[in-house]
Amino acid sequence: MTLDAAGMIRGVADGEAGALRRLYDAQAPRLFGVAMAILRDRDAAADALHDAVVKIAARAAQFDPARGEAGAWLAAIVRHAALDLARARGRETPTDDPALGDTAVAPEALDRLLETQEADRLRECLNALESRNRQGILLAFVHGLSHAQIAARLDLPLGTVKAWIRRGLARLKGCLA
């Protein structure tokens, strides 16, 4: 029995008995955390993780370890399930303040990133961005905030936020290349 995520996903694809349960047990706290950071509501986050795991079960055969890391593949499915729910809940209105309070990931939190080569590079490149630019990217990726919500939170015009994020992503790409 393999304990790494890639091996467990392969087990799910092969229809191995109990493989999905083992994958869930090993990954659920991390993945539920990803959904919670975006939805900030246990019921909604549970719905998102439910939808995501059903998708993971159906798509396990499509996972290709040569094209990406297993944990990242799982987290991406959960993130997009949570983002779909956030969109359905009407996050585009800036008045729907996500009230992140102190729970928002602070830019210093970048230090908590895993000590992998990829994470090191990403941290360096994010740190090279202007602070509000970096914060906008973190608020969007980690907390699922829309352009309008980021604008409200950073007290910037919507158009400025859109342009900054676009430029920030382009710089990030250049830096990571």
Partner 1 sequence: MIPSDPEALDALAAEHVLGTLDAREAAEVNRALPVDAALREAVARWEARLAPLAGLAPPAAPPDDLWKRIEASVAKRAPAQVVPLRAVASGAAPARPDRLWKTWSIGATAVAAGLAAILFLRPADPPRMMTVLLTSRDQPAWLVEAEGGGLRLASLNPRPVEAGRAQQLWALPPGATAPTSLGLIPESGQARVAPGIVRPEPGMLIEITLEPPGGSPTGRPTGPILFIGRLAPATGT
3-state DSSP call for residue 65? helix
- Minimum distance from residue 18 beta carbon to partner 1 (Å): 11
Site mask for partner 1 (CB under 8 A), range 142-161, x = bound = x-x-xx--------------
The CA distances from residue 100 to 50, 120, 153, 156, in Å, are: 24, 27, 9, 17
For residue 96, the 8-state DSSP code is: S
As a whole number of angstroms, the distance between CA 32 and CA 49 comes to: 6
Among 32, 100, 154, 156, binds partner 1 (CB under 8 A): 32
Q: Does 85 sit near partner 1 (CB under 8 A)?
A: no
DSSP annotation of 3: -
Question: Count of residues binding partner 1 (CB under 8 A)?
Answer: 66
Instruction: Output 67 or 155, the one with its CB closest to partner 1.
Output: 67
C-alpha 14/C-alpha 111 separation (Å) is 38
Helix 117-127 and helix 158-176, axial crossing angle in degrees, nearest 10: 130
13 binds partner 1 (CB under 8 A): yes
7 vs 110, which CB is nearer to partner 1?
110
In degrees to the nearest 10, what's the CA dihedral of 44, 141, 24, 77? 90
Provide φ and ψ at 105, rounded to 5°. -70, 120
* Binding mask of the shown chain, residues 55 to 84, with x at each position contacting partner 1 by CB under 8 A: --xxxxxx----xxx-xx--xx--xx--xx
The residues binding partner 1 (CB under 8 A) are 13, 20-21, 24, 28-30, 32-34, 36-38, 42, 45-46, 49-50, 53-54, 57-62, 67-69, 71-72, 75-76, 79-80, 83-84, 87-88, 92, 105, 109-110, 112-114, 116, 118-119, 122-123, 137-138, 140-142, 144, 146-147, 165-166, 169-170, 172-173, 176
